[in-house]
Amino acid sequence: MKLDGVPSRTIWLEPDGWSIGIIDQTLLPHKIVRPVLKTVEDAARAIKTMQVRGAPLIGVTAAYGVALAMRVDASDASLDNAVAFLGAQRPTAVNLRWALEDLRTTLLPLAPSIRAVAAYARAAELAEDDVETCRNIGVNGLKLIKEIAIRKGGGPVNVLTHCNAGWLACVDWGTATSPIYHAHDAGIPVHIWVDETRPRNQGAALTAFELLQHGVPHSLIADNAGGHFMQAGDVDLVIVGTDRVTANGDVANKIGTYLKALAAHDTRVPFYVALPFSTIDWRTEKGSDIPIEERSEDEVLYVQGKLPNGELGSVLISAEGTHARNPAFDVTPARLVTGFITERGICAASREGLLSLYPEKTSEVA
Ligand code: MRU
């Protein structure tokens, strides 16, 4: 997608052929800064501090992190250490584990002398695959938006989304946003309700920014406003992303997703989850088994933004001495999900639904 009019991706190999470029998402939308990762520690820090975030992107960043580790020491011990170290940075998104297991399985049978080259090649392949996967999620999700547009017979299709499951969360296109970009590009009028997504405001800072850059009509709303707009008939469809879908179809996603699913269920608004195959955790049976990341209370107590002097800064929004809790994700039970939009098609949010699209996983499923 475009950043300041220039086609961009969220992660790339620098011209030196070995260091890795990223966009620092903690500074968006106010500053576009592109740090360079040169060590496995840099990659881990970028994931932990959320300079890169979103399930697919942290998977690809971790894959490049392994490549950076292999440049320095390609022994079995170094490979195992890099995989464990990178995997420990964020616990909920299963794409991180998936990418690291992929790299380990690819590299372990190889002679150490060729592991670095192979790691870069595999990381690049995962990045390319992610682009194509997200593109196909968009092609499949477009059908839903088209159907609604035809049924409405005029006016924009109003889609509500939570957090940022856009191209900034992936390598390109995004998951939840890919059907939206495909619809917009096909000339179908869409309007997006963007949940601000407290506490880190990924909706306000990232999704609204993405949509603005691409010219997609949207309105930023406070997290608490979604139910109101659904009751008023102003939401035709909800599409969110996910960090992990368990074998029974339960969905972990950014905190607050569950409340949107409840409101959508009550108001009979279709609630879809867009995901690539790498987000399905076949080995975990149900949502209550998913580890939920707990982040610093400061993310709740302070709000970051652009100060009147143009600098970035943060302000305390409650009394000194107030304590907070900050679970970063929640679990939406499969029964509240209308369906999954994947790169292979749309299916029911259930074990049977998932297996209908991925029959080769039958023997792995929990
Ligand atoms: O904490 P974040 O910003 O990494 O959380 C991101 C989300 O919750 C996204 O919805 C999810 O990763 C899907 S990204 C395509």
Whichever domain contains 274, its CATH number is 3.40.50.10470
Q: Is the pLDDT of residue 125 over 90?
A: yes
CA distances from 331 to 120, 203, 259 (A): 34, 19, 10
Overall size of the chain counted in residues: 366
Question: What integer pLDDT is reported at residue 268 of this predicted model?
Answer: 98
Quickly state the pLDDT bin for 8 (edges 50, 70, 90): very high
Q: Is the pLDDT of residue 66 over 90?
A: yes
296 shares a domain with 196: yes
Count of alpha carbons within 13 Å of 186, Cβ hemisphere only? 16
Residue nearest (by alpha carbon) to ligand 1 atom 15 = 165
Q: Is the pLDDT of residue 30 over 90?
A: yes
Count of alpha carbons within 13 Å of 216, Cβ hemisphere only? 30
Q: Which of 93, 111, 129 is the last residue of a domain?
A: 129
What type of residue sits at position 181?
Answer: Y
283 shares a domain with 160: yes
pLDDT tens-digit readout, 291-347: 999 999 999 999 999 999 999 999 999 999 999 999 999 999 999 999 999 999 999
Atom of ligand 1 nearest to the CA of 202: 3
Quickly state the pLDDT bin for 147 (edges 50, 70, 90): very high
Check the CA dihedral 319-320-324-326 and report its sign: positive
- CA 210 to centroid of ligand 1, rounded, Å: 15
Atom of ligand 1 nearest to the CA of 206: 3
- CA 143 to centroid of ligand 1, rounded, Å: 24
The total number of structural domains that make up the chain: 2
122 shares a domain with 150: no
Cis? peptide before 29, omega within 30° of 0: yes
162 shares a domain with 123: no
Cα distance between residue 201 and residue 180, in whole Å: 20
| Contact criterion met (CB below 8 Å) for 11 and 22 | yes
Catalytic residue among 102, 172, 243, 250: 243
Range of the domain at 17: 2-129
120 shares a domain with 35: yes
CA distances from 151 to 130, 154, 164, 193, 327 (A): 32, 8, 28, 20, 39
193 shares a domain with 282: yes
Residue nearest (by alpha carbon) to ligand 1 atom 6 = 54
Check: pTM over 0.85? Answer yes or no. yes
- DSSP-derived 3-state class of residue 224: helix
Query: Does residue 243 have an active-site annotation?
Result: yes
272 shares a domain with 252: yes
Residues in contact with ligand 1 (CB, 6 Å cut-off):
53-56, 93, 163, 165, 169-170, 174-175, 202, 241-243, 253-254, 328
Question: What integer pLDDT is reported at residue 171 of this predicted model?
Answer: 98
Q: Which of 26, 202, 223 to mutate to test the pocket of ligand 1 (most atoms within 8 A of CB)?
A: 202
Atom of ligand 1 nearest to the CA of 276: 15
188 shares a domain with 90: no
Q: Is the pLDDT of residue 366 over 90?
A: no
